[in-house]
């Protein structure tokens, strides 16, 4: 009789070979890098400032004389929109020029080795 908990020997036992494992690790690293770029806070902040800046620039371009007079003859929507647009473009440019690089597996392992036991008080 065979035990149902036995693992079959040979290549069909479900453990990937080293080449396949390396491919899986590379795929996970690519996904991690993509996720970190996608959710970079500079992209979110820059995108919001660009959108709101464009809305204010358009609103400021069509301000009436009464609205301009109310702001002491300053096209406040236009200038604020241009400022927000410039700040948003700065954040997006910063994100493009200095992209986030997730730590490699070696860097993570090194950080974990250096951190072992430092968060516990002496004698524990």
Query: Which tens digits make up the pLDDT trace of 9-58?
Result: 555 556 667 778 778 777 777 776 666 666 788 999 999 999 999 999 99
Sign of the CA dihedral 90, 93, 98, 104?
positive
Sorted by where each begins, the domain ranges of the chain are 43-99
7: pLDDT strictly greater than 90: no
Q: What number is the average pLDDT over the span 78-92? A: 97
Q: State both tokens at 86.
A: 């410039």
Q: Is 72 left (phi over 0), alpha (psi -120 to 50) or beta?
A: left
Give this prediction's pTM: 0.59
pLDDT, the chain, mean: 79
For 8, the 3-state DSSP assignment is coil
Q: Which residue, 97, 96, 89, is CA-closest to 50?
A: 89
């Amino acid at each position: 009789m065979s035990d149902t908990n036995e693992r079959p020997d040979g290549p069909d036992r479900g453990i990937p070979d080293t080449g396949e494992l390396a491919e899986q690790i590379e795929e996970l690293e690519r996904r991690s890098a993509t996720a970190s770029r996608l959710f970079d806070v500079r992209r979110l902040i820059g995108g919001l400032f660009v959108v709101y800046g464009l809305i204010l620039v358009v609103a400021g371009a069509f301000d009436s004389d009464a609205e301009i007079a109310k702001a002491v003859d300053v096209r406040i929507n236009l200038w604020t929109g241009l400022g927000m647009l410039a700040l948003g473009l700065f954040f997006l440019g910063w994100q493009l020029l200095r992209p986030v690089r997730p730590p490699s597996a070696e860097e993570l392992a090194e950080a974990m080795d250096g951190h072992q036991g430092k968060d516990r008080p002496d004698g524990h």
